[in-house]
Structure 1
Amino acid sequence: MHIDIDKELCIGAGQCALTAPKTFTQDDDGISEVLPGREEGGGDPLLREAARACPVGAIHLTDT
């Protein structure tokens, strides 16, 4: 599953990093980003929940 974050839409709420800390983090400006090597989700069971938790819908998951 490929992960894409719309950085223009992201408000830095951090819900993704709180929900799936093995996949998401925040940069110095508070904008969410995917941890290196986790761009395909890495089988994180919390990935879909993290995407749903985003208050502005900035995380998009695509089945690969």
Structure 2
Amino acid sequence: MKVTADRTVCVGAGMCALTAPAVFDQDEEGLVTVLTVEPDDDSRAAALEAGMLCPSGALRVEE
């Protein structure tokens, strides 16, 4: 699995950080930051869910 984020389209909703806190966080401006580009087995399902929940489509989670 590989996780990336496009901060230019991020709207700062925070769904990623709430859904997969081991994978995503937000900076001081509220924009997404990726904590790990290759989530471990325990975080994979949450990372996929976060990718589906992102309202701006800023996240890409590829298996």
TM over 0.5: yes
Q: Which residue number corresponds to residue 29 of structure 2?
A: 29
Which residue matches 2:40? 42
Kindly indicate which of the two structures has a greater share of residues assigned to helix: 2
Structure 1 gaps, min length 5: none
Structure 2 unaligned residues grouped into runs of 5+: none
Residues paired across the two proteins, number:
61
> What is the TM-score normalised by the length of structure 1?
0.86
1:8 is matched with which residue? 8
**CA shift at 1:5, angstroms?**
0.4
CA shift, 1:61, in A, is 1.5
Percent of aligned positions with the same letter in both sequences?
Answer: 41
Deviation at 1:31, TM superposition (A): 0.3
C-alpha RMSD of matched pairs (Å): 1.0
Give the alignment's TM-score, normalised by structure 2. 0.87
